[in-house]
Amino acid sequence: MITDRPDKTSGIMYSYSLLLLVLLCGMIFPGDVIGAEVRSPDGQIAFSIDIGASGTPRYHVHYRGEEIIRESKLGMHFASQHGFEYDFTITRTRTGTTDNTWEQPWGERRFVRDHHNELLVEFAANERPKRRFKLRVRVFNDGLGFRYEVPRQSRYRNVNIVDELTEFHLPGEATVWWTPGRRFNRYEYIYQSGSLDGIEMAHTPMTVRLPSGVHMSFHEAALVDYAAYVLDQRRPNLFEVNLTPWSDGVRVKTGTPFLTPWRTIQISPNAAGLLNSSLILNLNEPNALGDVSWVKPGKYVGIWWGMHIRTFTWSSGPKHGATTENTKRYMDFAAEYGFDGVLVEGWNIGWDGDWFFNGDLFSFTETYPDFDLQEVTDYGRELGVRLIGHHETSGNVTNYEKQWDEALALYESVGVGAVKTGYVADAGDIKWVDRNGVAHFEWHDGQFMVDHYLRSVKKAAEHKIGVNPHEPIKDTGLRRTYPNWLTREGVRGQEFNAWGDPPNPPEHTAIIPYTRMLAGPADFTPGVFNLTFQGMESKQRVQTTLAKQLALYVVLYSPLQMAADLPENYEQRLDAFQFIVDVPADWEESIGLAGEIGDYVVMARQERGGSDWYVGALTDEEARVLTVPLSFLDAGQRYRAEIYRDGSDAHWKDNPYDIVIEQQDVTAADKLQLPLGASGGAAIRLIPVN
Ligand code: NOJ
Ligand code: CA
Mutate which of 391, 470, 492, 494 for ligand 1? The one with the most ligand atoms within 8 Å of its CB, which is 470
Structure letter (DSSP) for residue 156: G
Task: Kindly state the average pLDDT of the residues 642-648.
Answer: 98
Binned at pLDDT 50, 70 and 90, residue 3 comes out as very low
Classify strands 386-392 and 215-221 as parallel, antiparallel or unpaired: unpaired
Which residue from 526, 519, 543, 522 is spatially nearest to 471, judged by alpha carbons?
522
Quick check: helix, strand or coil at residue 361?
A: helix
Are 424 and 357 within 8 A, CB to CB?
no
All residues at 6 or more sequence positions from 248 whose CB lies less than 8 Å from its CB, including other chains: none
User: Could you read off the pLDDT of 248-272 as tens digits, one per residue?
Assistant: 999 999 999 999 999 999 999 999 9
* Atom of ligand 1 lying closest to residue 307 CA: 7
Are 526 and 564 within 8 A, CB to CB?
yes
Mean pLDDT of the chain: 95
Q: Ligand nearest 345 Cα, by number?
A: 1
Mutate which of 187, 300, 354, 392 for ligand 1? The one with the most ligand atoms within 8 Å of its CB, which is 392
Nearest alpha carbon, ligand 1 atom 3: 470
Centroid of ligand 1 to alpha carbon of 153 (angstroms) = 45
Which residue from 389, 392, 373 is spatially nearest to 328, judged by alpha carbons?
373
Task: Kindly state the average pLDDT of the residues 548-563.
Answer: 99
User: Could you read off the pLDDT of 557-591 as tens digits, one per residue?
Assistant: 999 999 999 999 999 999 999 999 999 999 999 99
Which residue from 633, 643, 657, 632 is spatially nearest to 579, judged by alpha carbons?
643
Centroid of ligand 1 to alpha carbon of 483 (angstroms) = 23
Are 497 and 542 within 8 A, CB to CB?
yes
For the Cβ of 489 lying below 6 angstroms from any atom of ligand 1, the answer is: yes
Q: Is the pLDDT of residue 680 over 50?
A: yes
Q: Quote the pLDDT of residue 126.
A: 85
Q: Quote the pLDDT of residue 12.
A: 38
Centroid of ligand 2 to alpha carbon of 579 (angstroms) = 26
Centroid of ligand 1 to alpha carbon of 555 (angstroms) = 22
Q: Ligand nearest 356 Cα, by number?
A: 1
Centroid of ligand 1 to alpha carbon of 471 (angstroms) = 8
- For 408-422, the DSSP string reads HHHHHHTT--EEEEE
User: Could you read off the pLDDT of 5-26 as tens digits, one per residue?
Assistant: 333 333 333 333 434 333 333 3
Q: Quote the pLDDT of residue 269.
A: 98
Mutate which of 400, 468, 471, 495 for ligand 1? The one with the most ligand atoms within 8 Å of its CB, which is 495
For the Cβ of 470 lying below 6 angstroms from any atom of ligand 1, the answer is: yes
Residues, CB-to-ion distance under 5 Å, ligand 2: 470
CA distance 577 to 571: 8
Quick check: helix, strand or coil at residue 405?
A: helix
Centroid of ligand 2 to alpha carbon of 454 (angstroms) = 19
Which residue from 495, 497, 484, 457 is spatially nearest to 473, judged by alpha carbons?
457
The yes-or-no answer on residue 571 being catalytic is no
Q: What percent of the chain has pLDDT over 90?
A: 94
For the Cβ of 523 lying below 6 angstroms from any atom of ligand 1, the answer is: no
Beta-bridge partners for 439: 433
Task: Kindly state the average pLDDT of the residues 458-467.
Answer: 98
**Phi and psi (nearest 5°) for 558?**
-150, 130
Q: Quote the pLDDT of residue 69.
A: 98
Q: Ligand nearest 525 Cα, by number?
A: 1
Domains in the chain with CATH codes: 3-282 (2.70.98.10), 496-549+587-690 (3.20.20.70)
Binned at pLDDT 50, 70 and 90, residue 34 comes out as confident
Identified catalytic residue from 85, 122, 345, 495 = 495
Which residue from 39, 234, 226 is spatially nearest to 148, judged by alpha carbons?
226
- For 598-623, the DSSP string reads TTEEEEEEEETTS--EEEEEEESSS-
